[in-house]
Amino acid sequence: MRYFIAVLFSFGVFLCTRGQERDTTNADSLRAKAALQDSTIVQDSVKAAQDTVKKETRKERKARERAEAEREKYYYKGIKKDSARLEIERLSRVAWRRSLILPGWGQYTNKGLWWVKVPIIYGGLVTGYVVFDYWQWYYKKFLDELAFRLENEDRSDPDLYNFTNEGLVSAKDYGRRNRDLTILITAGWWGLNVIEAYVDSMLKNRWDIGRDMTMKISPTFLPSYSYAGSMTGLRGYGVTPGIKLTMNLK
């Protein structure tokens, strides 16, 4: 009888345990389903919000940026520019853009001493071309001789007869380096012409020094403490001729 009661008790405990496990599994399943539903609802809400906000197209973005740039053109730090300021800025833009297209055009637009500046600008450009042409000839001369020697194992240019192949390579690289440097300097000279046109326009239109300024250039003597000054016999002290520039603002 006791064994029968023990078996019944064990069977009852087993049934209770299985029931609790099922209840736990069902509760976990219900919680998972609820979380999944909540996540689905949130995703649907986000998608609906994204659909509500219209995406900006490339054309609309360019139009917006153009409008902002146009607004900045007429405003400075939130303050609207007057007509005089806008005209001054327009003249400066015209000057440097013209010099960028054709050197000296901006200087001619600014008037003043354009007849002095334009010859200097073109003199520098012509000098740059002449120097470039020389170094290009120099580079090709050594390059052609080197190529001929490598192909025929002989010498063709009598001027370069005493040069070794290593010497030809070194001279060729030297000519190419100077040629490229000449190109950079000439481009810098062109850019300097653009900067000069812009700065001259700004100084002429934004700052007026008036006609009350006088300038005088006169010869003078400056004290000298160099070795040349000691040649005068004044124990190392002497004078050196020079030029003095005097400016008076009334």
Token duo for residue 20? 């609790």
Give helix then strand counts, H and E, for the chain: 7, 4
Determine the pLDDT at residue 6. 55
Determine the pLDDT at residue 87. 80
Determine the pLDDT at residue 18. 54
Amino acid at 158: P
Q: Give the pairing of strands 75-76 and 79-80.
A: antiparallel
Do 107 and 120 contact (CB within 8 A), yes or no?
Answer: no
Can you list the residues of the chain whose pLDDT is less than 70?
1-54, 70-82, 207-215, 224-239, 247, 249-250
Sole residue written with tokens 């345990």: 17
Asked if residue 173 and residue 101 are part of one domain, the reply reads yes
Asked if residue 188 and residue 227 are part of one domain, the reply reads no
- Which of 213, 141, 136 is CA-nearest to residue 180? 136
Asked if residue 129 and residue 182 are part of one domain, the reply reads yes
Asked if residue 233 and residue 194 are part of one domain, the reply reads no
Determine the pLDDT at residue 11. 52
96 HSE (CA, 13 A, CB side): 15
- Global pTM exceeds 0.75: no
Do 106 and 96 contact (CB within 8 A), yes or no?
Answer: yes
Do 157 and 145 contact (CB within 8 A), yes or no?
Answer: yes
Asked if residue 195 and residue 148 are part of one domain, the reply reads yes
Asked if residue 229 and residue 140 are part of one domain, the reply reads no
Euclidean distance between CA atoms 18 and 21, whole angstroms: 5
Is position 74 within any domain? no
pLDDT digits (tens, 9 = 90+) for 121-137: 999 999 999 999 999 99
Token duo for residue 176? 């190419």
Determine the pLDDT at residue 232. 47
Asked if residue 126 and residue 182 are part of one domain, the reply reads yes
Q: Which residues form the domain of 245?
A: 217-249
